[in-house]
Structure 1
């Protein structure tokens, strides 16, 4: 997935109170982080056989022993988001109690929408539904290329791309926004662990280790996205311009787009990147509307409610499925890979959505994060993926051959079945390339911030170095093993970060419980209710006693009057 931290006509909120003023890098953290990433790159490049053997065996071990952990953790994040949003904690404001939202609702929603569009949706928007339609998930029991397979394909696409990933981002973003805007601790992930570590340890090496794990996760998660982008651009050039999609062409694409990123970072053209991001949204929306109007429009409209209903109905079975009774290999290639990918993007996307949400209540924040990008993703998959399913099932186009060549080819095969397919294919390639540049730019800024003590404006040289390293990781992993290597590296690096995210939930809940902005706890509310009942009962008893006393006095007065007469 690709998220652009500059997708807005306004600058993001300024630094929260207490944020570090210096943008000097943490040289120890930079040195260790870069040395480790360079070591992995060199090992994969020079000793590709040993790297492949170790990574393959490690992946098998992780899936056999910790696949359940990814599944359970993803469920925890989704449930926790809903519990926090609709509990008393939802009243807490991300800022001071009287803080107002930094952005209006329309601008905030627009930025949320932009966060949901990226390389991932371009790569998998057609490829995933079509792949599941032709080869349904083993646990579904659906037969290939049947209506049941089409329904299952859309349900699993929603499962992998809507509520659960945005719950992962929501927890990370909430923790960062709460620590930064509510507590004024700065812009590092480690700042959210102060309730457990204490301020001194969070600023010391324990906190640095947390930030370092966040950097590793972001490097390999972003490298996966960049690798997918290179694969898709190379496939598009092969289809539209007869330029063979080889490893050499993929490496040239990565080098050219990385050079564009370096120029933008050194020249300070973040406003230009912002306009690129806006252009991305416009082009993506235009491409989707084009497919919707010239494709099977009625079928797409039918698909939206049917697929959403099926997804919600089967969410619990899909969310609780592990390798115990289903195919380990399929889970590793799809669900667990996705959960690892979203976890690796959590520091990046979390930083973005936290920065634009100053002044919101927690309830507004979580509901917006869960529903707005998920809604946009549902529409994208129904239009792009639904069109491909319709074409394949009716025989209007044969897309099965494209899927055999990889998910990256399916988008162009679907566009080729519509009018002016060459033009729309070039538009799709431009979209992927600009997403590549803006993703590298934004992710590098986040890593620069994490390794500069939370500085909002890290040095340009540091940002560029992280960007170049990300591109190098993407290039080397593509050369070593293509998409499989990208997926393997993402899962392996995300494993320790699962533990970080689960502990983050604990730290966040511990701090929210003590926040006076949440109002009284339930037991306090029950005590208050009991006091109210006591008061009401006491008042009723007192009123009854007073009334009885008045009646007795009135009767006595009448008796005295009768005696006198």
Structure 2
């Protein structure tokens, strides 16, 4: 390892940009919130259609790549075996991509649609139930995971097939913008955009995860909700994240992700089989059927005449959020996918990612709905009068061994956030490094440093009130340039495949010498 692998321009510029944005938010959180909400409102009201179309086009394009000759391209040499077992690979993919946000939203998102349904449905009606059980599946389904998968393809190709040791977004754009611009100010700007967006993503995870765990500890042990408790939780997070990053990909992130997935599966199976099993399964079938039946409608709806704001406040915001976080997933999944074909990669991300989210939404969300409509636990009333976190605690406590399951739930959430922050720090360290050899990881101290930094800025905002929300919204405002970056990356991928003769090499029709992939 070379002594100095820090990419100083990216390193310092990312920190400076973050501070320029974050400090005013800390000093004036209300003003920052108002400004960001206004900016985002104008963005989604005028260009919401573009986000909706981008999601659909991404899904169609990826299906074309998967089921055409492009899908035969293997990340590595022809016949190369996968680096990780399928279970470990999927575990690392899921745990990085969904995090603690999935457990939170799958438990509670249905309630918002039940209370304020789309398409003019009556609140708390049977029509509201249909939308409540299907819209969350849509927002965490194939369209969302397609946007996660799209940047993975060019990053994985340029790294594993072209053997370029850089996993930066700027490198994945070089097929269009050229090597010189990719290494110059334009490339630096692309990579800084990625890091800033990721800070907002980490802020969301911390902003949802910390209050949920605090509420769980308060319910279980009577520990009061306070700044001190939040701080202790975050310190514990940082210690776990730092240890995992120090141990590396194999001994740290892989083991933590595998443990996390097993815990999540246990919680879901317990709720499914101890709770109202047949209601959950029947309602899951209803929700999936309603989603697929209305998929096109939900994918393109802007409500331009009705002006309800529902698609802008939910679908477009979700799509902007997936887009902002997607570059991190692209780098992470590319890094762990050696030996996989593009078809395997695309189908695993889109199918297994969606299925994992659908199971969580169907089990936790439908169980909570059962409690609501049967007047067992007034979930919507608790949300209105207390908080969403208290509603989730009440839902889990209604189960047999409820306190044990609540403890398992917040423990799984704790580890989910750890794996998300781990992989985020790992990929950020890759982007902010230089002169790495092919297959080489960033130095340990640098990975740990980014883990603490990605946590530190959202933590500062969390304790300053509404400023964290402003950071989340501001990073979503950064999504339009990232869409343009994705388009450039995708065009670069097709250019490289044609230049390299990769379709012939990986179909076995024509022998291509290894050295040809490095020729200009």
> Scaled by the length of structure 2, what TM-score is found?
0.88
Corresponding residue SS for 1:191 = helix
Matching residue of 2:515: none
After TM superposition, list the pairs within 5 Å mapping 1:339-488 onto structure 2: 339-404=319-384, 405-453=386-434, 455=436, 456-478=440-462, 479-481=464-466, 484-485=469-470, 487-488=472-473
CA-CA distance at 1:289 after TM superposition = 1.0
Given that 2:458 and 2:468 are in contact with CA atoms closer than 8 Å, whether structure 1 keeps it comes out as no
Q: Distance in 2 between matches of 1:229 and 1:421?
A: 20
- Go from structure 1 to structure 2 and tell me whether the alpha carbon gap of 1:39 and 1:346 turns closer, same or farther (over 3 Å shift): same
Given that 1:222 and 1:345 are in contact with CA atoms closer than 8 Å, whether structure 2 keeps it comes out as no
Given that 1:44 and 1:480 are in contact with CA atoms closer than 8 Å, whether structure 2 keeps it comes out as no
Corresponding residue SS for 1:178 = helix
CA-CA distance at 1:264 after TM superposition = 4.7
Given that 1:340 and 1:491 are in contact with CA atoms closer than 8 Å, whether structure 2 keeps it comes out as yes
Given that 1:115 and 1:373 are in contact with CA atoms closer than 8 Å, whether structure 2 keeps it comes out as no
Given that 2:29 and 2:467 are in contact with CA atoms closer than 8 Å, whether structure 1 keeps it comes out as no
CA-CA distance at 1:295 after TM superposition = 0.7
Larger Rg: 1
Matching residue of 2:517: none
Corresponding residue SS for 2:302 = coil
Greater CA drift, 198-207 or 508-517: 508-517
CA-CA distance at 1:110 after TM superposition = 4.6
Q: Distance in 1 between matches of 2:124 and 2:468?
A: 25
Corresponding residue SS for 1:350 = helix
Given that 2:133 and 2:284 are in contact with CA atoms closer than 8 Å, whether structure 1 keeps it comes out as no
1:160 matched to 2:145: no
Given that 1:235 and 1:408 are in contact with CA atoms closer than 8 Å, whether structure 2 keeps it comes out as yes
After TM superposition, list the pairs within 5 Å mapping 1:300-339 onto structure 2: 300-322=280-302, 324-327=304-307, 329-339=309-319
Q: Distance in 2 between matches of 1:461 and 1:79?
A: 41
Matching residue of 2:155: 176
CA-CA distance at 1:382 after TM superposition = 1.0
Give the root-mean-square deviation of aligned CA atoms.
2.7
CA-CA distance at 1:320 after TM superposition = 0.6
Matching residue of 1:16: none
CA-CA distance at 1:294 after TM superposition = 1.1
CA-CA distance at 1:216 after TM superposition = 1.2
Gapped runs of 5+ residues in structure 1?
Answer: 1-19, 521-565
Given that 1:175 and 1:504 are in contact with CA atoms closer than 8 Å, whether structure 2 keeps it comes out as yes
Q: Distance in 2 between matches of 1:381 and 1:349?
A: 21
CA-CA distance at 1:23 after TM superposition = 6.5
One of 63, 66, 74 as aligned partner of 2:55: 74
Q: Distance in 2 between matches of 1:364 and 1:269?
A: 21
Given that 1:188 and 1:453 are in contact with CA atoms closer than 8 Å, whether structure 2 keeps it comes out as no
One of 497, 502, 508 as aligned partner of 2:493: 508
Matching residue of 1:55: 36
Q: Distance in 1 between matches of 2:272 and 2:285?
A: 16
Corresponding residue SS for 1:334 = helix
Q: Distance in 1 between matches of 2:114 and 2:87?
A: 36
CA-CA distance at 1:384 after TM superposition = 0.9
CA-CA distance at 1:292 after TM superposition = 0.6
CA-CA distance at 1:234 after TM superposition = 2.1
> Scaled by the length of structure 1, what TM-score is found?
0.81
Gapped runs of 5+ residues in structure 2?
Answer: 506-520
- Go from structure 1 to structure 2 and tell me whether the alpha carbon gap of 1:299 and 1:321 turns closer, same or farther (over 3 Å shift): same
Given that 1:162 and 1:377 are in contact with CA atoms closer than 8 Å, whether structure 2 keeps it comes out as yes
CA-CA distance at 1:401 after TM superposition = 2.4
Q: Distance in 1 between matches of 2:159 and 2:421?
A: 24
CA-CA distance at 1:256 after TM superposition = 4.2
One of 110, 116, 124 as aligned partner of 2:105: 124
- Go from structure 1 to structure 2 and tell me whether the alpha carbon gap of 1:427 and 1:477 turns closer, same or farther (over 3 Å shift): same
Deviation track 1:50-69 (CA, whole Å, cap 9, x = no partner) reads 42343233222222333233
Q: Distance in 2 between matches of 1:112 and 1:472?
A: 25
Q: Distance in 2 between matches of 1:98 and 1:46?
A: 56
Q: Distance in 2 between matches of 1:23 and 1:167?
A: 37
Given that 1:158 and 1:378 are in contact with CA atoms closer than 8 Å, whether structure 2 keeps it comes out as yes
Number of residue pairs aligned between Structure 1 and Structure 2: 499
CA-CA distance at 1:107 after TM superposition = 4.5
